[in-house]
Structure 1
Amino acid sequence: MESAPTIPWNTQLQERHAANMARAAFDNAIAAAKAEIPPIRKNRKVDFNSAKGRTTYEFEDLAEIVRTVDPILSRHGLSYRFRTHVSGQNVEVICILSHRDGHSEETSLPAQADNSGSKNAIQAVGSTLTYLQRYLLKAALGLAVSSDDDARAAAAHNPVQELTARQAAELRSLIQETATDEAKFLAHAGAQSVEEIDPRAFPRLQQMLLAKRRTMASAAPKTAAVEDAVVIEEVRK
């Protein structure tokens, strides 16, 4: 009986070397592109009054991010695309960042469909897709830390912004249910209390806690310290 053909060791070494070279080219291209990408202009403004007072903040929309980064990425052989999964009210977007030499990396983020206002079902999903694409592209390029701070900045200038009582209660319930260290969670959310968390951060924080709850339900029990490390790492992504 003949044995299955094996890949010669030198071919394996060549493939490994090629993969390492592609990864190095990817890393170099990302570093060079980031050095050229300027601060992204916040071209949209939200300004409205509610029972809680006036809310106003600025942000950059997806089109502005694309306009700023696309020419620079192209010069360095980089490109990106999005893959989406929608199941009921659950929406997940995956950003695939690729280099012309073959290496690519993926970043994903889930969220609930945005049913705020008077959106129909399609508009609710579309709003969430755009939101996730905007944040994912910045995260994939490593721009989230420097240019994704409008939520905290707006909260500092607009102390009237608050979570609804239902949102605050849901976060508190999830924090208790998942045995999350509330002080550490608030530190990473940039707030002194659950009620002071910026409402625009609610979907992301909610999904992180829900993901932790799913992990706890499907895996063996872990210590509280380990569980906190999991959710904090997910918040950072």
Structure 2
Amino acid sequence: MNEIVRDREADLPRMSPVDLRSYCDHNSKMRESTDISKIAPALVRAQAMMENPARNRSVQVRTQAGSYQFRYATLDKITDLVRRALAENGLCVLQPIISTERGAALVTRLLHESGQWMECEILLPPLGSNPQAFGSAVTYMRRYSISAMLNISADEDDDANRAAGNHYQDLPARKERNPRQPREEATDLGEVVGDAVARTLVNRARLAEGVEEGHALLEAWLQRATVLEKLRGTKAWDSLERELGAGLKRSLGVEPAAAFITALRASEPQHIAALQQHWEGKWAGTLSAMQQEAPATYAMLRRHVAAQIARVRAMTAEEPAPAPAAPAFRAQLKDAAGEVVSNPITDAVAFAEAYAEAWRGVEPDMRAKLARNNVRALGQAAKDAAARAVLDRLSAAEAAEPQPAG
């Protein structure tokens, strides 16, 4: 990395290209309209028409440690490249500079003809009173933002080096060769789209604080999970997993977040067994309370866990390992007061149906006690697919019931 060179006029440190990119990453946030059902497919089609811009300029950079040469695509080259693909899909780009509580910021908004939008906001770094340095930083960030939002690569640029305080000399423009030669497809289209969707979900996760926002985060994940699963094994997936876990921990609590992440990371049958053990054991009290107090959110968490279990089972279906025989089911139903109200039941489905009948016959404010008194038996019954289906229908019916006014 180049050493920091200080601006003699403003006595403020300039940033290296790497530092400027890092600054952008840590001082940006992404937002989207409530509905993205039209802009998302339009963006998919537009990106499929785009190529990485040709690096049409070369620069010789002299640093404190020596010098080097690199090529890059100028801002006008990038905008010429993307404008037609965006327009043909009802999209355009706006890049105004706005004033925020923290200072000036650059907004890059992708606007769809339907009115739906996605945008990225980056706080501009303090560069003193040097207008050339400010203009260079703005140009660099315009290029950085539009390239990041559209997932195209423009390499390094002269504006980043101006911001670094490096001395540079423009070299003659390099003549393009075979400009219409199609690029080699290096990335699956689904991964390209997934990366863009992941950035949106990461920003939503970073803002999640209360139960309502945790509910919305779970809902957003479930709606986009099919696309996002294509990112497994990439850096984008690692970041998404980390931010989802942190966001759910802040908004819903430690145990629901742990259940979500444990299911997400599961890859082998023993992981599923551990997940089910925790669900029925150390997480049981919290999850039971969540089921009563936020049934719709609980139902979504269960949907996520069920989907991840199905994913792991599908992965291991081709080479099934012999599983130990499941212990015989045996339980007695207890009422909300904790009294045993049935003979021993040895069939998981029969127990689930008996519990469902008891649940429907008890007052709503007593259902939490009914669930707690039968939590271990319910956990054992849920291991049976047919019994689990009975309990899932009960959860769905509970979620659909009108909630009492607060």
- So what's the TM-score if we normalise by structure 2? 0.29
* Bigger strand share: 1
Report the TM-score when normalising by structure 1.
0.47
